[in-house]
Amino acid sequence: MFDADSPSPVTTPRCRYAPSPTGSLHLGNARTALLAFLQARRMGARFILRIEDIDRPRTVPGATEAILDDLRWLGIDWDEGPDKGGDAGPYLQSERLAIYARALDALRERGRVFECFCSRADILRASSAPQIGEEGPRYPGTCRDLTDAEKRERAARHPNRQSALRLAVEPGQIAFEDEILGPRAFDLSATCGDFVLRRADGLFAYQLATAVDDGLMGITHVLRGDDLVSSTPRQIALLRLLGLKVPSYAHVPLLLDGGGEKLSKRLGSATISALRARGVRPERVVAALARSAGLTERLAIEAGELVDGFALDRIDRRARAVDPVDFD
């Protein structure tokens, strides 16, 4: 079991919202925050705000403060977070690096961690599988069983390339009941293969940090976008290996732009800050987000007014677009 300074046993449900401060809060992220907030308040859970700023090169200065300000403007509040503290902190991943290192050591002691000297191009050339999400093709296990001599030879061959650390994945299905999408099952060895725990640049990977944080913060319910469904079995695998409790998961359909594309910072999608600058009222934005999830027909509503009628089975299972006229 992972030996860490974990909080006391959970007696109250705990939900979370965990944005990455890589830019302004766009409407898709804001809708996820709203739905997670409503779930927490409806079930009387503690609502935790965690900032996933572990990828320091992509972190935008001032973005964390701007995200918190946008959430407050929308009427979304939280019980624990970087501005409020709490027993499960720190709530900035950049302040939790020692915790991730201990988790990595625990996995290494179980013989489940190995060095990988492959570049992305190496993996692509060696794999015949299609791309899997944003993490590329299935890892073919190239470095999994290297001898010490082979490791030294590979390190000498690429002296400027640091090794990554991967989890040795075992075959077999990891199944879970998604509270929105229903039963899901994944065989990690067949889909993604051995996945990264610490990147070649020395940064801890999203899967490890998120799993450790959810486990140690006592998160009982995770609501997030369905683009992260494929991450869930990896995080479940890590939680089980570390002896941490697995939360329940609910993955909501994504919010689309007018062209049917996923809303994202990369596409320059509408941001909360831009709408605020235009003078749009928060009640209009909340109503538009709630309508896109099938929760109301009103044109203006405060976030707190949606709590009593909220239920996961009311969320529209289709990916929906936000109409620009919603904010005129």
Among all residues, which ones are annotated catalytic?
A: 265
- Residues 6 or more apart whose CB falls under 8 angstroms from that of 95 comprise none
- The candidate with the shortest Cα–Cα distance to 196, out of 245, 147, 148, 162, is 162
* Dihedral (Cα; 125, 206, 23, 268), 10-degree rounding: 40
210 strand-pairing partners: none
- The candidate with the shortest Cα–Cα distance to 50, out of 114, 9, 122, 99, is 99
Helix (H) or strand (E) holding 48: strand 46-49
- Residues 6 or more apart whose CB falls under 8 angstroms from that of 58 comprise 20, 22
**100 neighbors 204 (Cβ within 8 angstroms):** yes
Distance (Å, whole) CA 105 – CA 101: 6
- Residues 6 or more apart whose CB falls under 8 angstroms from that of 192 comprise 132, 135, 138, 139, 169, 230, 234
- The candidate with the shortest Cα–Cα distance to 239, out of 257, 222, 216, is 216
